[in-house]
Amino acid sequence: MRWIFLGENYAEKTLLFTLLLSHSLYAEDMIQENKSVNITLLAEITAQGQKINGVALAYPDNVLSGSDLRQLYQVKTALDSAEKENRSVLKAYVNNEPKVTALPQAGKFVIIELDTADKNAATYSVKDANKAPMKFKSKDENGNIVETEKVQAVKIPEFFANRLIYSVEQKGLLKLTSGTTLGKAEWTQTAEPDKIKTPYLDDFVAKQVSLDKSENKLNYRLYSPLQKNGEKYPLVIFLHGSGQVGSDNLAHLLSSKGAIATLPYAPSFVLAPQYDQVFDPFDNPAKGQKGGIHWQTENRINLVLKMIDETLKANPQIDTTRIYINGLSRGAEGGLNLLLARPNFFAGALLMSGREAYTNEWVDGNATKTNLAAIKHIPIWFFHSKEDKVSPVKGSRINYRILKDELNAPNVKYTEFTFEQAGDNGIVNNNPHNTWDAVYNSPEVIGWLLQQKRH
């Protein structure tokens, strides 16, 4: 046997190699520059319009710690280069996609949830238009039909877009799953509509229907749910009020939760039409037609019915026994007109702060046991505040009294609110007319509607 002595030089080299290897495997953590982060603004439709409810930060790799990162972030806004204002951070956590979630998921997105009650949460301002008085038919104190002047103001959303800048600051260090430590940083993002991600709203497709001639048209939006083979889905028709008259095919989706009210509870098709002026130029009393305003005219009701029929033809997945109406203010009036036009077609209706059936312009007093008998079998839930100055409560009371007391309608309901201040009964806006604030936030009411089925 031969013994080979490598000597001290070998031992020194071995020790050096071991130290170098150890250093490469267990390198000291170093803070890296934090540059490649993409920002998405997250929004939701609330009772007071579209609000930014979060910011999604897309990091280059998965984030290690994921459930409570609130201390790490600060969010501010600046409109028209004004001084920055804080947004209230409610939560910050990790997700695998840029969206708000109840349960954090492993992923590369940090979601910073923000308080929609912040005064700087909005994505747009509202421009009041059509403020000049218009002439309408109404009744005087003696019941005579007279001409009166009223304002039918329209609220037009004007997006802040690049005038609104969100600043997001990462105030401390952030460890990625890869082992990288990202240093402090600050980023900005402008609020153009295409930079904002809003559940449900983003999936409404703009469409148009016409009747007899191309000029006689109605803009509308269609929401189609994710579908499974063999499944059938309800269809909801949402009718807006007078404040959303316009041609943008958008204001009626933004102003309330009306168009999306059923979607958190059940996958549904939704149709949301919008007309562009108070009077209907294709329904003129001077030409022997019925006339009227808003959803009162026969022409507009026929346009809505054609819209529905075309949608049913194109989407056989719709359950024709579950077609619902959801109307607020003048839209509640329109909802009644749809029910009366096709009394054996709809499964149920939510009608909020509407008017007496068969009102023409402001001429009421036309609803009777005879002309409401055709809809006595339909499940209808009326809502109204007794302090409503926009649409007096007597209209809903009369409709309900005739249907319930005179016609013994088995499935008609009526809820009347007392309103003293914003927040009462869940009415967020400081207006007793806005009963839909409470209705669209009620699982009880939406659940009732979705349970109805035409037999």
Quote the Cα angle for 35-41-43, to 5°.
165
Predicted confidence (pLDDT) at residue 446 exceeds the cutoff of 70: yes
Does position 20 have pLDDT exceeding 60, yes or no? no
The pLDDT assigned to 387 comes to 97
Mean pLDDT of 87-94: 98
**CA 340 to CA 317: how far, in whole Å?**
26
Where does the pLDDT of residue 14 fall: very low under 50, low under 70, confident under 90, or very high at 90 and above? low
Phi (first) and psi of residue 368, to 5 degrees: -140, 170
Six-digit token string for 40: 């998405």
* Confidence at residue 224, expressed as pLDDT on a 0 to 100 scale: 98
94 shares a domain with 222: no
Same domain, 272 and 309: yes
Label residues 13-40 b or e (16+ Cβ within 10 Å = b).
eeeeeeeeeeeeeeeeeeeeebeebebb
Residue 286 is predicted with a pLDDT of 85
Q: Given pLDDT bands bounded at 50, 70 and 90, which one contains residue 4?
A: very low
Q: 258 and 168, same structural domain?
A: no
- The domain of 206 spans 200-451
Q: Verify that 323 and 400 share a domain, yes or no.
A: yes
Rounded mean pLDDT, 331-342: 98
Residue-level pLDDT at 26: 62
Is 181 part of any domain?
A: yes
What pLDDT is attached to residue 13?
A: 54
Overall average pLDDT of the 344-348 stretch: 98
pLDDT at 5: 43
Same domain, 257 and 305: yes
Task: Tell me, yes or no, whether 364 and 439 share the same domain.
Answer: yes
pLDDT in tens, 408-427: 999 999 999 999 999 999 99
- Please state, in angstroms and rounded to a whole number, the distance separating the CA atoms of residues 254 and 271: 14
* Section 278-289 average pLDDT: 91
Q: Phi and psi of 398, rounded to 5°?
A: -65, -45
Residue 12 resides in a domain: no
The full length of the chain comes to 455
**CATH number of the domain enclosing 270:** 3.40.50.1820
Domains identified in the chain, total number: 3
Give the whole-number percent of the chain exceeding pLDDT 90.
Answer: 87
Considering the domain architecture, whether residues 146 and 211 belong to the same structural domain is answered as no
Q: Note the pLDDT tens digit of each residue in 215-263.
A: 999 999 999 999 999 999 999 999 999 999 999 999 999 999 999 999 9
> What was the pLDDT predicted at 288?
86
DSSP type of residue 28: P
pLDDT of 80 reads 96
Percentage of the chain modeled with pLDDT above 70: 94
Model confidence over 40-82: pLDDT tens digits?
Answer: 999 999 999 999 999 999 999 999 988 899 999 999 999 998 9
Give yes or no for residue 135 having a pLDDT over 80: yes
Model confidence at 121, in pLDDT bands (50, 70, 90)? very high
Do both 167 and 243 map to the same domain? no
pLDDT tens digits for 311-324? Answer: 999 999 999 999 99
Indicate if 398 and 291 belong to the same structural domain: yes
Please, what is the Cα angle at 254 between 249 and 260, to 5 degrees?
95
- Domain with residue 53: its CATH number is 2.60.40.2180
Contact indicator for 67, 78 with CB cutoff of 8 Å:
no
CA distance 113 to 68: 11
In this prediction, residues 388-417 reach a mean pLDDT of 97
Which tokens go with 409? 């309608």
With a cut of 50, say whether residue 3 has pLDDT above it.
no
The tens digit of pLDDT for each residue in 164-220 reads: 999 999 999 999 999 999 999 999 999 999 999 999 999 999 999 999 999 999 999
Same domain, 235 and 147: no
Q: What is the pLDDT of residue 11?
A: 52
Let me know whether 231 and 304 are in one domain: yes
In a domain, 132, yes or no: yes
Question: Is 17 domain-assigned?
Answer: no
Same domain, 94 and 172: yes
CA proximity to 110, closest of 171, 163, 30: 171
Q: What is the mean pLDDT of the chain?
A: 93
- Give the pLDDT of residue 293: 96
SS3 assignment, position 241: coil
* Largest interatomic CA distance in the chain: 131
Candidate from 20-34, 78-92, 130-144, 152-166 with smallest mean pLDDT: 20-34
**Residue 176 per-residue DSSP state:** B
Please, what is the Cα angle at 274 between 273 and 279, to 5 degrees? 130
The one-letter amino acid code at 416 reads: E
